[in-house]
Structure 1
Amino acid sequence: MTDPQLWLSVLEIGSFFGLIALAYQLTLIGAGFFNFAIGPYAMAAALGASWLVVEFKIPAWAAILVGLVIAGVLSALTELLVVRPVQKRAGGGELPALVAVTAVLFIVQQGAGIVFGRRALPGQTLFRTPPVELGSVFVTSSALLLIVATAVIFILVSVWMRHSRTGRLLRAVGDNRDAAVLLGLPVRRIRLIAFALAGVIAGIAGILYAPKSGVSFTSGLSWTLVGFLALVIGGTGRTWAPLVGGLLLGAIQVFAPFYFGSLGPTTMVLVIALLFFAFRPQGMFATRVRI
């Protein structure tokens, strides 16, 4: 555990998990809803970008931009065409919408396999520079970009949530949707913004992580699960709480095989998830309620 290269891997993997969890958090805060299709959005963005580069030789920057548009549009359409009408027919109930979104997860996954192909593709990056040697650590351009982008995104989202009018409305709608409707707040527009922004952040996560792991149409389900667990562990009380949960999961992914073998990461993640569900379901950082 003293190898700096391993800790770099923890930062890289944890940053990815944290970004996926942040996308979850945005829809939860802004719409009061767990969008379990977050992972497939990330997969569709990364796989779509790689497919455009490999099949059509489109420049990486243009393909990445298209991938982000795909993720944002898919997420917005999920709210407009699935969550909103299902909740309306169910009288505001969440369970039917959760079931419908779970179906969206598999539809996006299988649709990506049909459109982009069922083979794994390498991730795309804007910067293809040789690894930089920092002491005993070799830092690739993709790893550095992922870590820096994660820090910047968390800072920007935190500032946006606290100081912008839209960010404050997002929190108000999430805190009490019925009260927001009575006050005449633009609930539908705010929910749509929450979903679209979450989709774009998920797309950024998938695109930046794909150079390390590659991407295939089946990646979405596993990314959905780890992002959800990172949110459960970190909690929703602070904007940066999902990043803490992601880094903890990243540490498990990197170090557990040294002590528990190849099944170690899966076993440890499940054990920690069960412990949090049982004893601290609000996560490490819960929302403070002032009385």
Structure 2
Amino acid sequence: MKSKRIIEYLKGMKLQSSLIIASGIFLGLALAQDSIFIPLPKFIILYVIFGVGCSGGAQILNRIFDLKIDKIEHPERGLPKKILTKQDMLKFAVFLLFIPFLSIFINWKIFVLVLIGLIFGILYSENKFKLGRKWYTSYFLLSFGYILIPILAGWLIIKDLNFFILKIAFFFTLIALPITSLRDISDMKGDRKYGKASLPVKIGIKNTILFSPMFSFIIFLIFLVGFKFYLLRNFFKYLATIIILFIPLSFYILKNPKRKINFTILEVFGFLCEILFVWWLIW
């Protein structure tokens, strides 16, 4: 029974989602020192703070607040199956959310990012604020929390903030913004029943699938021309690689949009996008 509880705690943290956090930290560290050989201790510390503490704690809170939806869409999870209680999950969330406060011993800039990350996580998860229940606020909170903050954390542990890293961080954050809407396709039935205004509920599955890449492409063009991304070293090699990877991925998702593994695949794709960006730019 204990092993089942431990497994459910780990599942509740959704550590697969922290892959994108790990790649963001790597990107920030690599760009800060202009090398793909990053300082491993700094990477591990930042991952524990943001990937385990901030993200894991927020995911556990989200499981508590989304229990009604999970009973419909994910009855196999720990809370619906009553392997864990709300009190168990809340205690674990408090423990995880305490970890990021240790960042005060690193530097004040990382601590400020931690506070912002925790605020984003709570605003997204807590039903009273309803920010996680509206598509036009929930996707911003997710993209900023999972992409912008980790990239800046990797950079700020080594250097001071400047326009270059802000430009890169906002590029990946805004590109990912519409893609996050795809995560709600598998929860559409529960979202509709309990009034969660996700994009698939508002405009339908097909329109969501069409809207997401189209909006991402528009954002990409803005950065390409407005911020002169075409001047970055090897940028078009990077772009060609991403397009080649994205085409078969798109067909796979379109074949069965409601497949629950789809968003995990997109998270892995996002992880590769950030890693390859560093590879082409620095190597």
Q: TM-score, normalised by structure 2?
A: 0.33
Q: Normalising by structure 1, report the TM-score.
A: 0.32
Structure whose residues are more often helix by fraction: 2
